[in-house]
């Protein structure tokens, strides 16, 4: 029986599209392409999520590959949530429904140690029973160790957990760790059908 629902954050609880985030800066297309590559596409971005580099050092490394005119833009993108923090449509309602049905809710996110600064602004954040944010543990999905950490940290049984992520590799790793799960592509109706088919008490049609 599924008792615990584990959510990814970017692409699940909130929209996360680097191109759209950069577009808020209203820059020429060539500058947008540079920022997409040298900020969001950089090794430093991944290291921030793993918690193995400081934000200052990451920013310096990114700026070394950018013209001076884009240095301020890089700084703004390191705090991307200040440009856009848009809840996924239908997700706050789903969280409330799951909580009312007695499910425990957990977060498992690849994110930097600044994540607590903005998570409280995501609708439904107060319903979560526990959170694993990669930057604090120096682990990243899809490493199997981060799923083992989640289970151990909150005394969960893998067979009682259902994991929702927008990344195929992350869901595969969860399945390998013994959890059930599904890939979320923004189709809330499909997600509700999948949860219902797994025996999780949610309405198949959004209230």
**DSSP characters over the chain:** ---EEEE-SBTTTB---HHHHHHTT---HHHHHHHIIIIITSHHHHHHHHT-S-HHHHHHHHHTTS-GGGHHHHHHHHTGGGT---BPTTHHHHHHHHHHTT-EEEEEE---TTTHHHHTTSTTGGG-SEEEEGGGTT--TT-HHHHHHHHHHTT--GGGEEEEES-HHHHHHHHHTT-EEEE--S-HHHHHHHHHHTT----SS--
How confident is the model at residue 147, as a pLDDT?
Answer: 98
Q: What is the pLDDT of residue 129?
A: 98
Q: Of 82, 98, 125, which marks where a domain is finished?
A: 82
Write down the pLDDT at residue 205.
72
User: 124 and 78: one domain?
Assistant: no
Residues 98 and 193 in one domain: yes
pLDDT for the residue 120? 95
Instruction: Count the domains in the chain.
Output: 2
Q: Are residues 44 and 129 in the same domain?
A: no
CATH number for the domain spanning 114: value is 3.40.50.1000
Same domain, 100 and 10: yes
- Single residue among 41, 64, 82 that ends a domain in this structure: 82
Q: What is the pLDDT of residue 206?
A: 64
Which residue range forms the structural domain that includes residue 52? 25-82
SS3 of residue 131 by DSSP: strand
8: Cα within 13 Å, side-chain hemisphere: 26
Rounded to whole angstroms, how far apart are CA atoms 20 and 23?
5
Instruction: Specify whether 50 is located in the same domain as 152.
Output: no
Q: Is position 66 within any domain?
A: yes
Which pLDDT belongs to residue 162? Answer: 98
DSSP string, 60-96: HHHHTTS-GGGHHHHHHHHTGGGT---BPTTHHHHHH
Same domain, 11 and 98: yes
Last residue of a domain, one of 67, 82, 97: 82
**130 pairs with which residues across the strands?**
106
Residues 29 and 11 occupy one common structural domain: no
**DSSP letter, residue 134:** G
**Residue 101 shares a structural domain with residue 175:** yes
Residues 124 and 142 in one domain: yes
Same domain, 9 and 34: no
The per-residue pLDDT string of the chain (207 residues; one tens digit each, 9 = 90 and over) reads: 999 999 999 999 999 999 999 999 999 999 999 999 999 999 999 999 999 999 999 999 999 999 999 999 999 999 999 999 999 999 999 999 999 999 999 999 999 999 999 999 999 999 999 999 999 999 999 999 999 999 999 999 999 999 999 999 999 999 999 999 999 999 999 999 999 999 999 988 765
Q: Are residues 65 and 44 in the same domain?
A: yes
**Residue 134 shares a structural domain with residue 77:** no
């Amino acid at each position: 029986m599924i008792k615990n629902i584990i959510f990814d954050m970017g692409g699940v609880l909130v929209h996360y599209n680097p191109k759209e985030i950069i577009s808020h800066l209203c820059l020429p297309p060539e500058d947008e392409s540079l920022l997409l590559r040298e900020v969001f596409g950089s090794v430093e971005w991944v290291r921030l999520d793993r918690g193995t580099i400081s934000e200052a050092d990451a920013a310096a490394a990114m700026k070394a590959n950018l013209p001076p005119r884009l240095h301020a833009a890089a700084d703004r993108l390191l705090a991307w949530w200040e440009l856009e923090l848009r809840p996924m449509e239908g997700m706050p309602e789903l969280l409330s429904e799951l909580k009312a049905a007695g499910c425990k809710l957990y977060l498992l996110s690849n994110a930097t140690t600044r994540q607590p600064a903005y998570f409280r602004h995501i609708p439904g954040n107060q319903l979560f029973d526990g959170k694993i944010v990669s930057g604090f543990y120096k682990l990243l999905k899809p490493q199997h160790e981060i799923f083992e950490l989640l289970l151990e940290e909150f005394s969960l049984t893998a067979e009682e957990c259902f994991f929702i992520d927008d990344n195929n590799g992350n869901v595969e790793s969860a399945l390998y760790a013994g959890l059930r799960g599904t890939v979320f592509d923004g189709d809330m109706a499909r997600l509700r059908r999948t949860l219902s088919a797994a025996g999780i008490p949610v309405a198949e049609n959004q209230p």
